A and B are shown apart, each in its own frame.
Chain A
Amino acid sequence: MLVVKVDRCLGCKSCELACAVEHSASRDLYEAIHETPGPRARVRVSQGTTFAIPLQCRQCEDAPCVAICPTNALHRADEDSPVFIDHDRCIGCTWCVLACPFGVITLDAKGRTIIKCDQCFERVEHGELPACVSACPTGALQFKPLEDVVAEKREACLLQIERSLSGDAK
């Protein structure tokens, strides 16, 4: 899963750039900027009150977009795969855009299909990290198994309990 350390995001948007290049025809920055149609990023760095945060598809287990898609364009290949878009089936009705609670699906009007983060599944299959994770200069974006994320949280929790037991103020 993609994890964001919000306090590490400096709003540089390297992730957006890398995502667009990764999803371009040439997969090369200098060529990608001249392509038509121009490649688009699936991640967007947004400004909160006092923080910046990259937002992309959460690959929901019980995805509202999958449930609502009238053509089954949105689907999972198997239990462990991200949520994919079959661009041939997609009719660009944008119901998924409306159904998504995170605002991370958008319409590629030229291509007449929706686009969203695909977790760079091809890179991952080859043992690489998603493009945005590789590009992030501060490690704000991370790609870890859910179990690892949970384990880290448990450890942090234990540490807190230890501290309060030994009388250390937090």
Chain B
Amino acid sequence: MADSKPRSVDPAACQMFDFACEQGQEVVYDRFEAMQPQCGFGQLGICCRNCVMGPCRMDPFGEGPQEGICGATADTIAARNLVRSTAVGASAHSDHGRDIAHAFLATARGEAQGYSIKGITKLKALAQELGIEVDGASPEEIAEKVGEAALDEFGRQEGELRFAKRAPERLQARWKKMDVTPRGVDREVVTALHRTHIGVSNEWKHLIKTCVQTSLSDGWGGSMIATDLSDILFGEPIPRTSEANLGVLREGEVNIIIHGHEPTLSDAIVAAAQLDEIQAECEKVGAKGLNLGGICCTANEVLMRHGIPLVGNFLQQELALLTGAVELMIVDVQCIMPALKKIVGDKCHTKLISTSPNAMFEGFEHIQFDENKAMDSAKELLLTGIRNFANRDPAKVIIPDEKSPLVAGFTTENIFDHLGGRYRPSYRPLNNGIIDGRLRGVAGVVGCNNVKITHDHGHLEMVKELLRHDVAVVLTGCSAIACAKAGLLDPEAAELYAGRGLKQICDAVGIPPCLHVGSCVDNSRILTACTEMVREGGLGEDIADLPVAGAAPEWMSEKAISIGFYVVTSGIFTVIAEPLPVLGSAKVTEYLTDGMEEDYGGKFAFEKDPIKGAHLIIEHLDRKREALHLAPMMFEPRPVDTVGRAWDLEPAAVSAG
């Protein structure tokens, strides 16, 4: 068992990692160390397994083969692998969007038990955008037409994706020029995969265009549909308070965790949990009540809409079970470690139940969630958890005393709600803040955890550095959870972390310096928010003109690759820590980190150090400000020694991968 050097900057996670070590319980870090050394061909992206004339690998030192057996070069191979990864990432988001669209349509038609059309304002706005008549029609009638239109986007064979027409004209023109305008959600993935077959696309530039087009069918397609329809079906989020970290688990109550991504499941669980019979059942087993919490993006969905607390992010999923306080973990799709089954058993009473026909795990029980009978399904799951309460051994329970208050629930529509605008928010205060020099710009810090980076360290260091330089930060996914746990989403955070200009804006508008805008599909909110900023005026004509940037300081998944591509090719400079697996191709690497900016208005930077990454962003924002001839920054950055300490623990030296 690996010795427990600090794996995290989160004291709760450290406590549980130490506990795992004491118990001799294998966790993710142990498997990571056993995997060393990791294959350099894979890391460099120059291993090809696409046909069985292979597998082929290129010699990065120039002596062995420089071409595969078919003649593909390192450039082709690295780019081709990237296409497959992007296609998988886009598929994950878009399949999620499809599931939401199905549930949406069924609800509109009265065929889904347990859901109802909630976000009427957004429904009407979307209907008008799609040219659907709203006068005299009931919400269900409108929703049926909207649902049909949304579902059509998935199988679209003619024309272009409708939601991509929301982008600024110049951006759409750039896509057209590069021939990457997304045509249909499912179609782009199929075409992308086709192009990676042996003997199809072998030109690396064409393959990178394929990555772009596929990712756009996600960001301005599947993900955006997921976000919009989720807001209508489950409720438009409003800023609300809650708590984050393992300390939200409660002794004496039944603790049930929802882990995965699709709010069709988690929203129904939340609704079912409120039923009287559920409370009665809890009391029957001797529990004071039912305590729901979430892990990963489904947690963010029910946090944004219902204030359900966050138990933790990706790297904490095993730790939550180790507390011994969880009766049931319900999972659906994406980012669920099959290793969870190794934690439960004699030492841990938690039931693991999978619910999606897409995601099966050995050792988990499977109870398929039925969207047409959502409440019944949800009830069955909750009761299974409650009945497991008797098996909890109170003596074995160890819940770290760590949790932080937070504010979450910001969207493109509601950020400046109270300052005007009906369907459209007013972005004037934000734009003016940037123009006047109080705000340097906006950064979206998003993405996963990665075992190669001290847990949460990348997110926190980068966000704090940005905040003290008057950069407003929007957060999604596991990054948002990391910042929430550290107190950066607390209303007092501006006082502790923000530069003077940012603090003034926060105080004037009544927002925290870090805005939690939701789950990973909600990265589409960043696209629509940027579009609003352009529309409001004074900051250029295109997203690529805005002083905005993106970052994924601890990314690991293929979904992140798709997001990276759609953000960059919507014109947003994006810094990622772990490089894209293309370093074995000098040409592809050069294009992604330099050349592509001319074609798309955005590019990647690969920077592992979060402080250096923050400064790449700050320099980028300054360049955009200069190009727009904006006023100089009003205030100097806040001195480092006046910035609050998120955790008391200093991270250990980051372990080399």
> Chain A residues in contact with chain B, CB under 8 A?
8, 10-13, 45-47, 49-50, 52, 137-139
Name the interface size band of chain B.
Answer: 10 to 19
Tell whether, in the assembled complex, residue A47 and residue B36 are in contact, meaning their CB atoms are under 8 Å apart: yes
> Chain B residues in contact with chain A, CB under 8 A?
36-41, 44, 57, 59-61, 63-64, 656
Complex CA gap A168/B60 in Å reads 29
Majority SS of interface residues in chain A? Answer: loop
Tell whether, in the assembled complex, residue B61 and residue A8 are in contact, meaning their CB atoms are under 8 Å apart: yes
Q: Which residues of B contact A50 (CB under 8 A)?
A: 656
Q: Which residues of B contact A49 (CB under 8 A)?
A: 656
Q: Which residues of A contact B37 (CB under 8 A)?
A: 11, 45-47, 52
CB proximity of B541 to chain A, nearest CB, Å? 47
Closest to B33 in A: A47
Most chain A CB inside 10 Å of its own CB: which residue of B37, B39, B60: B37
CB proximity of A16 to chain B, nearest CB, Å? 11
Complex CA gap A139/B41 in Å reads 14
Known: A138-B61, A139-B63. A12 touches B40 (CB 8 A): yes
CB proximity of B180 to chain A, nearest CB, Å? 34
Closest to A8 in B: B61
Tell whether, in the assembled complex, residue A11 and residue B38 are in contact, meaning their CB atoms are under 8 Å apart: yes
Complex CA gap A10/B44 in Å reads 10
Q: Which residues of A contact B41 (CB under 8 A)?
A: 10, 12, 137
Q: Please, could you name 27 A-B residue pairs with CB atoms under 8 Å apart, sorted by A?
A: A8-B61, A10-B39, A10-B40, A10-B44, A10-B60, A11-B37, A11-B38, A11-B39, A12-B40, A12-B57, A13-B39, A46-B37, A47-B36, A47-B37, A49-B656, A50-B656, A52-B36, A52-B37, A137-B41, A137-B57, A137-B59, A138-B59, A138-B61, A138-B63, A138-B64, A139-B61, A139-B63
CB proximity of B523 to chain A, nearest CB, Å? 34
Tell whether, in the assembled complex, residue A137 and residue B64 are in contact, meaning their CB atoms are under 8 Å apart: yes
Complex CA gap A47/B657 in Å reads 10
Tell whether, in the assembled complex, residue B36 and residue A139 are in contact, meaning their CB atoms are under 8 Å apart: no
Known: A49-B656, A50-B656. A139 touches B40 (CB 8 A): no
Complex CA gap A33/B446 in Å reads 42
12 new A-B contacts at CB < 8 Å, known A13-B39, A52-B36:
A11-B37, A11-B39, A12-B57, A45-B37, A46-B37, A47-B36, A47-B37, A50-B656, A137-B57, A138-B61, A138-B64, A139-B64
Closest to A47 in B: B36
Closest to B38 in A: A11
Complex CA gap A47/B40 in Å reads 12
CB proximity of A3 to chain B, nearest CB, Å? 15
Closest to B58 in A: A137
Complex CA gap A96/B116 in Å reads 73
Closest 6 CB pairs of A and B: A10-B40, A11-B37, A52-B37, A47-B36, A47-B37, A12-B39
CB proximity of B582 to chain A, nearest CB, Å? 16
CB proximity of A129 to chain B, nearest CB, Å? 15
CB proximity of A146 to chain B, nearest CB, Å? 23
Complex CA gap A47/B39 in Å reads 11
Known: A138-B59, A139-B63, A139-B64. A11 touches B40 (CB 8 A): yes
CB proximity of A30 to chain B, nearest CB, Å? 13
Closest to A11 in B: B37
Complex CA gap A9/B458 in Å reads 29
Complex CA gap A10/B202 in Å reads 26
Complex CA gap A47/B35 in Å reads 10
Closest to B65 in A: A137
Complex CA gap A13/B38 in Å reads 9
Complex CA gap A138/B60 in Å reads 8
Closest to B56 in A: A137
Complex CA gap A47/B59 in Å reads 20
Complex CA gap A52/B41 in Å reads 13
Complex CA gap A128/B17 in Å reads 49
Complex CA gap A10/B63 in Å reads 14
CB proximity of B630 to chain A, nearest CB, Å? 44
Closest to A51 in B: B37
CB proximity of A155 to chain B, nearest CB, Å? 19
CB proximity of B452 to chain A, nearest CB, Å? 13
Complex CA gap A138/B41 in Å reads 10
Complex CA gap A85/B41 in Å reads 35
CB proximity of B310 to chain A, nearest CB, Å? 35
Complex CA gap A11/B59 in Å reads 13
Q: Which residues of B contact A139 (CB under 8 A)?
A: 61, 63-64
Complex CA gap A47/B37 in Å reads 5
Closest to B57 in A: A137
Most chain B CB inside 10 Å of its own CB: which residue of A12, A45, A49, A52: A12
Q: Which residues of A contact B57 (CB under 8 A)?
A: 12, 137
Q: Which residues of A contact B60 (CB under 8 A)?
A: 10, 138
Q: Which residues of A contact B39 (CB under 8 A)?
A: 10-13
Q: Which residues of B contact A13 (CB under 8 A)?
A: 39
CB proximity of B5 to chain A, nearest CB, Å? 14
CB proximity of B58 to chain A, nearest CB, Å? 9
CB proximity of A142 to chain B, nearest CB, Å? 12
Closest to A49 in B: B656
Complex CA gap A145/B197 in Å reads 45
CB proximity of B68 to chain A, nearest CB, Å? 13
Complex CA gap A52/B43 in Å reads 14
Q: Which residues of B contact A52 (CB under 8 A)?
A: 36-37, 40
Q: Which residues of A contact B59 (CB under 8 A)?
A: 137-138
CB proximity of B3 to chain A, nearest CB, Å? 15
Closest to A52 in B: B37
Complex CA gap A139/B57 in Å reads 13
Closest to B42 in A: A12
Most chain B CB inside 10 Å of its own CB: which residue of A10, A11, A12, A13: A10
Closest to B46 in A: A10
Complex CA gap A50/B36 in Å reads 11
CB proximity of B304 to chain A, nearest CB, Å? 42
Complex CA gap A45/B35 in Å reads 11
Q: Which residues of A contact B44 (CB under 8 A)?
A: 10
Q: Which residues of A contact B656 (CB under 8 A)?
A: 49-50
Closest to A53 in B: B37
Q: Which residues of A contact B36 (CB under 8 A)?
A: 11, 47, 52
Q: Which residues of B contact A10 (CB under 8 A)?
A: 39-41, 44, 60
Closest to A46 in B: B37
Complex CA gap A29/B57 in Å reads 18
Complex CA gap A140/B354 in Å reads 46
Complex CA gap A13/B63 in Å reads 18
Q: Which residues of B contact A138 (CB under 8 A)?
A: 59-61, 63-64
CB proximity of B33 to chain A, nearest CB, Å? 8
CB proximity of A139 to chain B, nearest CB, Å? 6
Complex CA gap A45/B44 in Å reads 19
CB proximity of B563 to chain A, nearest CB, Å? 29
Complex CA gap A8/B64 in Å reads 12
Q: Which residues of B contact A47 (CB under 8 A)?
A: 36-37
Complex CA gap A13/B40 in Å reads 10
CB proximity of B38 to chain A, nearest CB, Å? 6
Complex CA gap A75/B46 in Å reads 43
Closest to A5 in B: B61
Complex CA gap A138/B66 in Å reads 11
CB proximity of B23 to chain A, nearest CB, Å? 25
Q: Which residues of A contact B63 (CB under 8 A)?
A: 138-139
Closest to B40 in A: A10
Complex CA gap A138/B36 in Å reads 19
CB proximity of B45 to chain A, nearest CB, Å? 13
Q: Which residues of B contact A46 (CB under 8 A)?
A: 37
Q: Which residues of B contact A45 (CB under 8 A)?
A: 37
